């Protein structure tokens, strides 16, 4: 579900992701903290990979997400940063499968905060955008097939 298979995110999907993220921005801090809560609930074994105090980590994730979302229609420009980010994630102990777990926690968090605004079209737009981002990161991390 989380692999885009090279499918592009359409301009309309980009618009929906950006508009829903803008709507959530005022509650950004509580959203990323809710995301990590859910993530560690779903994947408790991943908690020890995180050494930075969570509030600082939450801020870093929020900044990274904001940058990626604002550049969704031009992700090529972020490729060098995303490749470096993906390679740092290998050193943190992150594997390809972990991107699926993070995607599930992200969808759950969005649904919870957007409520009725999380329409099927908004949901599939986030799925497409996250699949594209995780494809780039997984490819850049150069994981070998098991």
Residue 33 found at the interface with ligand HEM (CB under 6 A):
no
Put residue 145 in one of left, alpha, beta given phi > 0 → left and psi -120 to 50 → alpha: beta
- The pattern of x and - marking residues 78 through 107 that bind ligand HEM according to CB under 6 A reads -------x--xx--x-x---xx--x-----
Task: Report the C-alpha dihedral over residues 53, 109, 40, 129, rounded to 10 degrees.
Answer: -90
d(CA 37, CA 23): 21
Which residues, 107 to 136, sit near ligand HEM by CB under 6 A? 133-134
Size of the site for ligand HEM (CB under 6 A): 21
Closest CB to ligand HEM among residues 77, 119: 77
d(CA 123, CA 129): 10
Among 10, 52, 66, 76, binds ligand HEM (CB under 6 A): 52
CB 17 within 8 A of CB 69: yes
Residues that bind ligand HEM (CB under 6 A): 46, 49-52, 57, 60-61, 64-65, 85, 88-89, 92, 94, 98-99, 102, 133-134, 137
């Amino acid at each position: 579900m989380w692999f885009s298979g090279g499918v592009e995110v359409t301009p309309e999907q980009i618009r929906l992701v950006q508009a829903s993220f803008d709507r959530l921005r005022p509650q950004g801090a509580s959203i990323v903290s809710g995301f990590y809560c859910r993530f560690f609930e779903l994947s408790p074994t991943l908690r020890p990979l995180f050494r930075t105090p969570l509030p600082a980590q939450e801020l870093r994730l929020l900044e990274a997400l904001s940058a990626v979302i604002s550049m969704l229609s031009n992700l090529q420009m972020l490729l060098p940063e995303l490749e470096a980010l993906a390679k740092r994630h290998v050193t943190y102990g992150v594997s390809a499968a972990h991107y699926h777990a993070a995607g599930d926690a992200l969808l759950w968090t969005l649904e919870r905060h957007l409520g009725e605004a999380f329409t099927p079209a908004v949901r599939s737009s986030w799925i497409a955008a996250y699949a594209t981002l995780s494809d780039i990161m997984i490819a850049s991390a150069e994981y070998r097939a098991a």
